[in-house]
Amino acid sequence: MQISGRFTIAVHILTCTDYFHDDYTITSNFLASSIGVNPVIVRQVILFLKRAGLIDVVRGKEGIILARPLEEITLYDVYIAVESVKGGKLFRFHENPNPDCPVGKNIHSALDWALDEVQSSLEEKMRGITLREISQRLPPQN
């Protein structure tokens, strides 16, 4: 199991947009230079964030802007915006356990509750952390 790099790129985009919004026009090229990835990747993540209502893209001087203040955006909001979790499940179960084996036949029902608990705990923790808390750990602007 691994959450993709889109998640941390999205958090970077949102915090960078807030951090520099008064001094720079925020563009995909500007963000890509901060993140250290190709602007095409940034544009893909921007589409996810825009669809989720976390950012707006304004032509001209404003560029990319936050649709909500960072204190109203949680890690969970970002996770939901950029991660395509099949069926809402974080863990993917192996497909062909042996139905003739007592473990293989029952592993799904034996393990599902634990995986659901782990996912619920992770999501609850993510709901409790705002991007403002993340941004407050950055150095102040000069």
The pTM score is 0.88
Distance between CA atoms of residues 55 and 52, nearest Å: 8
Residue segments in the chain with a per-residue pLDDT below the cut of 70: 1-2, 84-87
What's the pLDDT at 84?
67
Question: Based on the structure, what is the number of domains in the chain?
Answer: 1
Q: Is residue 116 part of a domain?
A: yes
CATH number of residue 79's parent domain: 1.10.10.10
For the segment 70-106, what is each residue's pLDDT rounded down to a tens digit? 999 999 999 999 986 666 777 877 888 899 999 999 9
Q: Is residue 140 part of a domain?
A: no
What's the pLDDT at 92?
76
